[in-house]
Structure 1
Amino acid sequence: MHAIRRQTRTRATLAITTAAVLSCGAVIKSEAPAAHAAAAIDPTSYVNIVAHEDDDVLFLNPDLAAPLRAGDPNVTIILTAGEADGSPFTTPATSQADFAAQREDGSRAAYAKMMGLADNWTRQDVIRPTDADYEMDTLVGAPQVKLIFLNIKDGGDPNELDDLTNLNSGADSSISTFVPNNTVVTPTPQVYTKQSLINTLDALLNQFQPTVVRTQQPSDIYNYALDNVDHLAAASFTDQAMASYHGPGGDRHVILEHFRDYADNNMPDNLSSTQRNDKETIFQTYEAHDANAYHYDADSPDPDYKNWPNRQYQRWPAGSAWNATDADGRIEAFAVEDGTVMRWYQTTPGGPWTGPEALATPGGELAPQLSIVRNTDGRLQVFAMQYDSVAGTSNVVTAAQTTPGSSFGGWTNLGNPNGTGDQTGLPAVGVNANGDLQVFAKNYYGGVSTLIQSSPGGSFGTWTDLGGGGGVQDGLSVASDSAGRIQLFAKRCDIPAAQTWGYQIVSCWLAHWSQGTANGTGTWDATEWAKGGISDQPVIGRNQDGRLQVFFRQAGGSDVETVAENSDGSWNMTPVDFSGNGGTGSVAVATNTGADARIFIFERDNSSGVSVTQQSAANGTVNNLWTAMGGLVEDLPAAAVDSNGKVVLTTLGTDGRLDIQTQEAAGAALTFSGWQPVGS
């Protein structure tokens, strides 16, 4: 991020007098005791890895603040010093060394603000005998909150352009750090090789034992604002370090999340007023120390800094369709953890759960959104997007049960709609009337491509471009209507005139592709439904009478809206708003059974918990009264109906384990069991 500082703030710094040795072999110089000397494992713990001092508060928030305030351990690792070329917006101009120091001040102030504590930190020089030193700061009054500054040179430093990127690509074999003014670290530039930086991040991950790791986007999004190269490199280095970290104590319960950065420039606002106001207050606390951010916010014709606090998007949202019902009626849930797919399932229909069971490792990283479908022979099949941020590749991969209800076989690579590159979208899968599975994915140019099984349960053919006109965003939703025709819905957006850093918001709408007849080729609906009114990915539900219904978040806020299929198969595309309790991301839906079967709608809300509402009657309107179910969930919920007719809500907890809530009795009542961890 290009950022600066408006004023200097006096540091609250404790004297550096003594040294203690950590279990990882590093030496900390400070009069405070060494943190994590015993490397105790906490049930919930976060590590954020970002390029610059403001990237976390701008792009990872509001998800950043909620667990901090809940008291969960949080370590944020900032890779670069952020010095750029100093700030030209002060008189006199701020030097690189002062600017880097001031941005660190801003980071400390923002975290103290989030915690409601004084801006008072213990600052430590971590001396590493075989590698580069770094600074680790601990918030006084909240020792579980730490900031780590590696101080690699910023990609915008005119003396050493794109150091982090060049190190990652191999163009540079080593790079040096930058020394901010008033640093507590030895005032001599240190050196990183690619492997030593990966080793440093891996050592920190293993020291702090996170259950959730957050970082930035490792690849640009074609046709939308190009990202800062430091952001992309920071995410790629995080991916590489994660290959050697396997969760607290090696239990594999670790979630990796990537967040969009400059690609947010073109997206509509998607935070509730409560979340926007909180995020703005946090960012303004940082901004008071960064003259570049203040300048762009107040004076620039491209006021990105003013608008970023209004939104948060993940690069690859996890979606809300990650569970399915087995051939014998058992619910199964799947999530990406520790670089592969984990599986939890009921041991008997409607009964207890077991798991997680790890599927084979596909190689490379998996994006978190999965599509689960049941073949005509009863076998469940999982589809995912596998990527390599260093090689710049991405492919759709799939794995299936060897027999119905059994374990899964290995992965099959279904390739890339464009043959090569890193722009493959997240797959969504439907079932044709003849039993063939059909895979859909966003392609390089922002259209949609598809590939179809040659026969039910058989191999897949080649990718075919369905068009779509560009601007399709990740998060497709697919279902078959009562006539057996596949219907696909997507969030599609205008393409900005210029893919630059500058702010240029575009309008997004509900795009619709459907088969004219069962097993047909299908066409796109030319109408830009709800244009300017959609922010997050749509989700398809099914009414008791078989009609499909689509749910999505409203742009400019976070209300949930819906459109429904008519009895003749046409669509009423006038959105109906039924409010919500805030939050971001797609909703989860499930339709219970019986004569009074209603669609239940779940959302991740303002508090990072879950709220629920439902139709007022079978096939009826949706209530705008939401019930908070509590909890602190890390990702979007999914829902299904068990063999007893009860709605079961599944979610990943902040500890990386599966949590569920089950209806206390089948029917329309919004009475659930409360959160229960299942499996191990």
Structure 2
Amino acid sequence: MARRGERRAERGRPAPARTQAAPAVDSGVAIVVATPGDAVALLASQQSGPVVGIVCARPGGAEERAALDRAVEDCGRRGVRVAGEPRVLDAEKGKITAGVLDALRELRPLRVHTLDPDPAHVSFDTEAKRPVIAEPPLRGSVARATIAAARTYQRERRSPVFVHCHRAGADPRLGTQACARHPLPARWVVTGVDGRLSAYLPSAAGVLRWTERLRGSGEWDGPEVLEGPDLLPGLTVVQDAHGYVHLFGLRRTRRADGKEHVDVVQTTQYQSGRPVGPWHSVGNPNGNDRAKGREVGFPSAVFDAGGNLHVFVRNFGHGVSTRRQTPNGTWSGWQHLRAVPVADELVALPAEPGGAEVWARARESASVVRWYRDGPKGDWLPDTTSAVSPAPGTLSAAPEAGTLRYRYSGSNEVCVEVRGAGPVSLAGADGAGPVAGAAGVDIQGWSCTVLARSGEAGACSVGAHADGRPESGVWWFDAGEVSLVPPAVAVDGHGRAVVAVLGADGRLRLARQEPVASGLALTRWITVGAHVDI
């Protein structure tokens, strides 16, 4: 019979090997789900290293428990340690958040994994005028309770906690970015107006920021939590022509009608290290219907050469919706772009000559669709002729206008789509997720683009090619650190490449380009915010 904190093995069936009860660690993983069967896919995505604790709202049936036992046995073969028996909350409705919070206090995880708080519909009931959700309601309830509990838990412990919401039905073998309901930014380190670097990442309690004290100094402050709304655990980071940093996310708020609504929000960082501006709502393309609006995709954004801000999201119908803000602050209405159904993976980037475009991975095929404007005031037009065939969770913008990076779905190798030339392979088929890059780095007198990506088991790999000449090839090397998020790369105030990772202990680590006689070399890694309360 299940009881809080543990359960017994089935009669006549030996329990799979697990570690002893979860130790009090600050770098472990907590998987919080509705029933034991829901933990199977999340366990499959775990890699060796931290201890994994499992929390279930309900004990589930015998088949679910057996499936979990098999998943735990598989974890043991892969070197993933599962701590003790799953904790079963058996909490009453309305008290799940408190139960999850108690479990987090006991497990003390650095990372919390749960399912999608707003699962996608499978059909639409025209008579009732509401979407049909196949997922059991408890799954979404537990996910929302977990996000709320993790937010409180981080504020209590005053150190970062990171939440990952696994999209229902996503294949864990594709990697965390491909399975994420709220994606991590591919670009999260930027150079401010004064030449100082800043890093931004989402956490359970809000956006974390680290700031370089002096330009190119290697001394940093942070992390600190930026004041703002209770965001869902994702982030988009965009920089305008003036060097100002714009942050985009999703928030869920409870309105006067007592129901929760989801909308896109945005804030601006004008000066490095200074408070950000107020968070403003950008709205929701399905905002008039709460049930539809809660499924809105994560925002992508870009500025064109005229200073117009373009925001794109995947809408309820799996199309793309966009709205534009002019330099004087005036917003247009939402416009729906139609072509083919798309997945929740959009990349907005500058286009030639001075415009903007958005790429989206197709929902029903290994292809992409691109929308571009027919002139500065023209209509958005679709282009489905590209040869890009991306693996899920790998799209990212390259520095050159209209240029896209991705991993090829057939081989996982890194590719770049060069307009007029087609796909170019950059090798690097190990690992998963998007590739970051920064152009204009001097390497032995050549202007080069430095790249960073996740390799095997999250190891950070770094490479470079001549600016505008990816066909010249990339030689990748192991940078000597692992990262819990896609590695980032930026150019500091002295023109040197800086590579950033989030270490296995949740701390920011950076390595800077070092002048050498040949090739690209990095200094030793430094750790930022080793003992900082937030």
Q: TM-score range by the shorter chain?
A: 0.7 to 0.9
Q: Is 1:56 the counterpart of 2:39 in the alignment?
A: yes
Distance in 2, matches of 1:666 and 1:357, equals: 35
Q: Secondary structure at the match of 1:635?
A: coil
- Structure 2 counterpart of 1:82, from 40, 50, 60: 60
Question: 1:627-666 counterparts in 2 under 5 A?
Answer: 627-665=477-515
Encode CA deviations 1:65-112: one digit per residue, 9 max, x unaligned.
Answer: x2xx32x232122333331xxxxxxxxxxxxxx545534543442343
Q: Please report how far the alpha carbon of residue 467 of structure 1 lies from its aligned counterpart in structure 2 after TM superposition.
A: 0.8
Answer yes or no: is the 8 Å Cα contact 2:412–2:430 preserved in 1. Answer: yes
Cα 1:51–1:553 change in 2 (3 A) is: farther
Q: Which has the higher strand share?
A: 2
Answer yes or no: is the 8 Å Cα contact 1:226–1:262 preserved in 2. Answer: no
Distance in 2, matches of 1:200 and 1:10, equals: 28
Encode CA deviations 1:185-205: one digit per residue, 9 max, x unaligned.
Answer: xxxxxxx32343322210111
Distance in 2, matches of 1:230 and 1:533, equals: 33
Distance in 2, matches of 1:417 and 1:13, equals: 49
Question: 1:340-351 counterparts in 2 under 5 A?
Answer: 340-351=206-217
Distance in 2, matches of 1:223 and 1:99, equals: 25
Distance in 2, matches of 1:617 and 1:146, equals: 52
Question: 1:197-346 counterparts in 2 under 5 A?
Answer: 197-222=96-121, 226-246=134-154, 250-264=157-171, 270=174, 313-346=179-212
Match of 1:464 in 2: 334
Match of 1:291 in 2: none
Q: CA RMSD in A?
A: 3.4
Q: Is 1:418 the counterpart of 2:268 in the alignment?
A: no
Cα 1:346–1:437 change in 2 (3 A) is: same
Match of 1:512 in 2: 370
Match of 1:479 in 2: 349
Letter of the structure 1 residue corresponding to residue 392 of structure 2: S
Encode CA deviations 1:209-249: one digit per residue, 9 max, x unaligned.
Answer: 211111111122356994444433331221232232116x6
Distance in 1, matches of 2:208 and 2:311, equals: 21
Answer yes or no: is the 8 Å Cα contact 2:461–2:478 preserved in 1. Answer: yes
Answer yes or no: is the 8 Å Cα contact 2:206–2:225 preserved in 1. Answer: yes
Q: Secondary structure at the match of 1:201?
A: helix
Q: Is 1:563 the counterpart of 2:411 in the alignment?
A: no
Q: Please report how far the alpha carbon of residue 258 of structure 1 lies from its aligned counterpart in structure 2 after TM superposition.
A: 0.8
Encode CA deviations 1:5-56: one digit per residue, 9 max, x unaligned.
Answer: xx97434799xxxxxxxxxxxxxxxxx99765xxx5x342221112343433
Q: Secondary structure at the match of 1:598?
A: strand
- Structure 1 counterpart of 2:309, from 437, 457, 464: 437
TM norm structure 1? 0.67
Distance in 2, matches of 1:318 and 1:47, equals: 19
Distance in 1, matches of 2:437 and 2:122, equals: 31
Answer yes or no: is the 8 Å Cα contact 1:319–1:475 preserved in 2. Answer: no
Answer yes or no: is the 8 Å Cα contact 1:59–1:312 preserved in 2. Answer: no
Letter of the structure 2 residue corresponding to residue 318 of structure 1: L
Answer yes or no: is the 8 Å Cα contact 1:206–1:245 preserved in 2. Answer: yes
Letter of the structure 2 residue corresponding to residue 207 of structure 1: E
Q: Please report how far the alpha carbon of residue 556 of structure 1 lies from its aligned counterpart in structure 2 after TM superposition.
A: 4.5
Count of residue pairs the alignment pairs up: 503
Q: Secondary structure at the match of 1:333?
A: strand
Contiguous gaps of at least 5 residues in structure 1: 1-6, 15-31, 84-97, 117-141, 153-191, 276-310, 495-506, 566-570
Distance in 1, matches of 2:439 and 2:20, equals: 55
Q: Please report how far the alpha carbon of residue 480 of structure 1 lies from its aligned counterpart in structure 2 after TM superposition.
A: 2.1
Answer yes or no: is the 8 Å Cα contact 1:270–1:556 preserved in 2. Answer: no
Q: Secondary structure at the match of 1:344?
A: strand
Q: Please report how far the alpha carbon of residue 562 of structure 1 lies from its aligned counterpart in structure 2 after TM superposition.
A: 1.7
Rg larger in 1 or in 2?
A: 1
Answer yes or no: is the 8 Å Cα contact 2:244–2:268 preserved in 1. Answer: yes
Q: Secondary structure at the match of 1:634?
A: coil
Distance in 1, matches of 2:501 and 2:73, equals: 33
Encode CA deviations 1:571-595: one digit per residue, 9 max, x unaligned.
Answer: 33x3233332422222111113356
Match of 2:14 in 1: 10
Distance in 2, matches of 1:582 and 1:423, equals: 32
Distance in 1, matches of 2:481 and 2:394, equals: 23
Answer yes or no: is the 8 Å Cα contact 1:447–1:465 preserved in 2. Answer: no
Letter of the structure 2 residue corresponding to residue 603 of structure 1: R
